[in-house]
Every structure is written in structure tokens, then in C-alpha cells.
Amino acid sequence: MIMNDLKYNSIIFDMDGVIINSMEDEEWKYNAVQNALEELNVQNENKSIHDALLGDLGYKKCLQVCEDFEIDAREAWTLVAKYTTKHRVKEIKENNIELFNSFRNFKDYLNTQNVKTGVISNAPMNAVELTIESFELKQFFDFYLGVRNFDDLQIRKPHPDHLEIARAELKREPCLYIGDAESDIIAAKRAGMDSAWIKTTETESDVTADYEVEDLNELKQLIKSDKSE
């Protein structure tokens, strides 16, 4: 029988930067945005503009940038989502995007525990599905969710909505959310769940997580229940 020696009955992960190393070199992502802009007949190589079109600066900023370029925001974001997913496939096939070894080890550890697991990502939903399938993680994760469409940008992290959906689907309290960005920790706080911040670099922030670690493996001991120590 699989026992649960953890403080948590469900653990939810961010995807990029926590499960996979897709944030280490983001040129693939910006190249994808450039492809989308070319299809829209827009010439711009400013990465802050690219971030806005990706939705990384929020729904309103995406709208604003699209208005400035006189393009339809829904069409632009949908094209960006299509091309980033296409480029993600290429990077995975060429082994440029891989699972973190720390995630592999943590995954093996969680398989010995009676916990539910999920993924909540700000990446497009089809990119999340692609990643789960490519790395054969369907049997490990009980639930996963990305940004489903342009309107969904309004409730992506740091909004708590997607985390609350995951909590309702997993039906196992208490929950822990693991992310690598301030928006992840804010979303967890707003959802009323504990958080773990994977910090590989020094980050100035007024936001604090329940756990701050450099590696997922550090969480093995930190999140054990008192009775298991």
C-alpha cells in the first residue's frame, strides 16, 4: 500500500522552469513570435513587444500593443500560440527542451506517496498537452490546464482562477503549488494554498513563499509531515 508521509494531499506544478528547462534559452519563443508577426505583416523585433503578444505582460498590455499595430488581438495571440507550440515541438525533438533531472527524481519520490498531482501553466493549453504527451507524463498527472484561449488570458496567473479549478478537480486538500516566478506565488496566496518557490537566481521581491528552494529535491524533506520525521 502506498502511504502518504507528506503534509499535502495534492501537489500542483508550474510547467516552464519547474518541470522542463524551456526558460534557460528563450530564443525559440521569440522566434515563434517573429513568425506570427510576419504572418500579420508586422515588423518588430523588440522583445518587450514579443512578451506582450505572448500574454506575459497581461491581457490589457496585449490589447494595447495590438491596438498600436492595428491588428486584431485575438488573431495575434492565437497565431503566437500556434507558432510557439510549433517551435516547442522542434525544441523537444532536438532535445533542447528536456525534463529537469530534479523533476524526474521528485516525480519518482511522489510516486511512492498517496498524492494527487496537477499542472497549471500560463502557456497555451495545446502547449501543455504537447509537453505532457511528449514526456509521457499523462499517467503521472491527474489534471493539467493552460491558457485555453485569448479570453482566458484575463484569468492567468497571478489570477487564482486556474489554481482554484485544479483544486476543485483534484479534490484533495491541502494543496501545495510549486512555481518559479512571483506570479506563481501570488496566485497561490490568492487561492489560499501553500507555495514553494524554485529560485535559481537572486530575485528581488516583497512576495514570500512558504518554501524557497533552488532544487525540487530540497522539497522532499521540507514537505514531510511531522509524524514522518
Question: What's the rounded mean pLDDT across residues 24-43?
Answer: 93
The DSSP line for 137-177 is -TTT-SEEEEE-SGGGGGGSTTSSHHHHHHHHHH--SSEEE
Give 227's pLDDT tier (boundaries 50, 70, 90).
low
10-21+98-228, which class in CATH?
A: alpha beta
Per-residue pLDDT reduced to its tens digit, 130-189: 999 999 999 999 999 999 999 999 999 999 999 999 999 999 999 999 999 999 999 999
Give 5's pLDDT tier (boundaries 50, 70, 90).
confident
Average model confidence (pLDDT) across the chain: 93
Per-residue pLDDT reduced to its tens digit, 44-87: 889 999 999 999 998 999 999 999 999 999 999 999 999 999 99
Residue closest to 10 by CA, chosen among 170, 151, 150, 162: 170
Residue closest to 18 by CA, chosen among 168, 222, 185: 185
pLDDT at 196 over 50: yes
Per-residue pLDDT reduced to its tens digit, 90-130: 999 999 999 999 999 999 999 999 999 999 999 999 999 99
Give 2's pLDDT tier (boundaries 50, 70, 90).
low
pLDDT at position 228:
45
End-to-end CA distance of the chain: 20
Which uninterrupted H or E stretch holds 36? helix 27-39
Q: How many C-beta atoms lie closer than 10 Å to residue 145's C-beta?
A: 20
pLDDT at position 229:
44
